[in-house]
Amino acid sequence: MHCHFYILFSKCKNRYYIGATCDELKERVRRHNSNHKKGFTGTVNDWELVYSEDFKSKEEAFSREREVKKWKSRKKIETLISST
């Protein structure tokens, strides 16, 4: 199984979204941008993939998601994004 940790950015919201998935990343971003009206990403459709990491297991990807969410620091997230 191939899984991903990812960060999206919305210019409309000027916010980041942090997530993890075992789906194809392109398809997951498309679903975030669909007009689903639910959750944090459902209110706008300009989410852009700005960062991702690949993992061999679901546990690793979701662990990385939890790790970065605990940072609660936009500056630290932006440093991670700019490190690529």
How many Cβ atoms from other residues are within 10 Å of residue 40's Cβ? Answer: 13
When mean pLDDT is compared across 7-11, 35-39, 61-65, the lowest value belongs to 35-39
Report whether pLDDT(37) > 90: no
* Residue 47's pLDDT band (cuts 50, 70, 90): very high
Task: Tell me which amino acid residue 30 is.
Answer: R
What pLDDT does 35 receive?
A: 74
What pLDDT does 10 receive?
A: 97
